Amino acid sequence: MTTVAQEAGAPTGAAPPSDPGAAIVTSGLTKRFRGGQTAVDALDLTVPRGSVYGFLGPNGSGKTTTIRMLLGLITPTGGTCSLLGLPLALALPRVGALVEGPAFYPYLTGEANLRRFDAADPTASGATVRRRVGEALERVGLTAAAGKRYRNYSLGMRQRLAIAAALLGPRELLILDEPTNGLDPQGTREVRALVKEIAAGGTTVFVSSHLLAEVEQMCTHAAIMRTGRLVADGTIASLSGGLATRVSVETPDAADAARVLAALGLADVRSAAGAVTAELGGHAPERVNAALVGEGVAVRGLAVVRPSLEDVFVGLTGEGFDVDG
């Protein structure tokens, strides 16, 4: 991106906000499918403008159902939701979306597919479609494959094309459902970089994932879903802040070390064979180390363990997570 392009307002950059409120607001949002299964249960969510919002949860926790309700694809059985503080028909042209994987016409080329979806947007102009499609393809690195039929695209290329489709116009909000699914590690890194770049332009990004590491790396905020319910939300810092930073001491003298740590006033001292951990609280780790050594404890290692989102999640739900991110 050159400076000139930035000044000209590249179409994939942020659009001026239409409403100063939150990008996404849901209130008591509920979806009960016929057959009685409750996919989303009284969800209250507020996604601040300009945030990169991670929407976390294991598969089947209601993330995609929520996204479908946000986009007006399915009707909530209870509660409300709004995008950009606008009626849905006015909000959607300002929203780019990737829902449950790519879906295109296999017999059309990548470029023709993007033109097709652009034609469906009543606010998009046919006069600029050529340039916008070209720029979206370039943004995801598909320029060389623009003339290839979608049928012959690899899984990674399909995913990129879906992201390109979400970037066809100036967007205030991007809703990306599992954007790195099917991508190789290189592609995953590229998508993360792209999301950061888009967010830097002021676009709010709402990204669902079942990969904790991914959300930790990309997002400023997160919400954690479990079986259709919201179990936690807030900034990444505040979420992790809910759990204390711990100090972990590797030592053969576990009992002595535990005593010293308790004497220092550290809370929640737990000792195991060869290691002791405690909540660090306001203590400086180097002081803790000096005290241990001063008391004759053989310190083999000392580490400060900051809580990760995974710890938060496990703490909240007692459930593990797919963490192969």
Partner 1 sequence: MSTADTGTRTRRTPGLVPVTETLSTVERRPEEPSDRPAPLAPQAGRRAGAFWRLLVSELSLTFHRPRNLAMLAALATVPVIMGVSLRLFAGDDQVGGMIAAVAGNSLMLTFLALSALVLLMMPIAVSVVAGDALAGEAGGGTLRYLLAAPAGRTRLLAVKYLNAVVYAYAVTAVVALSALVTGLVLFPAGDVVLLSGTTVTMTDGLLRIALTVGYVGFALSAVAAVALAISAFTEVPIGAIAGTVVLIIACQVLRAIPALEAIAPYLLPTRFTGFDAVLRSPIDTGALTEGLLTFGAYIVMSLSIAWAHFTGKDVTS
Q: In the complex, which residues of this chain contact partner 1 (CB under 8 A)?
A: 1-2, 4-5, 7-9, 11, 15-16, 18, 68, 71-75, 86, 88-90, 92-95, 97, 99-101, 103-108, 115-128, 131, 134, 138, 143, 165, 169-170, 172
Question: What is the closest distance, in whole angstroms, from the C-beta atom of residue 224 to partner 1 in the complex?
Answer: 24
For residues 251 and 275, the answer to whether their CB atoms sit within 8 Å is: yes
Half-sphere exposure of 120 (CA within 13 A, CB side): 10
Q: What is the DSSP letter of 88?
A: H
Nearer to partner 1, 57 or 169 (CB): 169
Question: What is the closest distance, in whole angstroms, from the C-beta atom of residue 30 to partner 1 in the complex?
Answer: 14
Question: What is the closest distance, in whole angstroms, from the C-beta atom of residue 46 to partner 1 in the complex?
Answer: 22
Rounded CA gap, 199 and 137, in Å?
A: 19
Both tokens of residue 266?
Answer: 């550290």
Rounded CA gap, 164 and 41, in Å?
A: 32
Nearer to partner 1, 103 or 213 (CB): 103
Nearer to partner 1, 86 or 275 (CB): 86
Question: What is the closest distance, in whole angstroms, from the C-beta atom of residue 134 to partner 1 in the complex?
Answer: 6
Nearer to partner 1, 3 or 186 (CB): 3
Question: What is the closest distance, in whole angstroms, from the C-beta atom of residue 27 to partner 1 in the complex?
Answer: 20
For residues 271 and 221, the answer to whether their CB atoms sit within 8 Å is: no
Task: With H, G, I as helix, E, B as strand and everything else as coil, classify residue 46.
Answer: strand
Nearer to partner 1, 72 or 265 (CB): 72
> Which residues are within 8 A (CB) of 269 and not within 5 positions of it... i.e. 6 or more apart?
258, 261, 262, 276, 277, 278
**Nearest in space to 204 (alpha carbons), one of 15, 3, 7:** 15
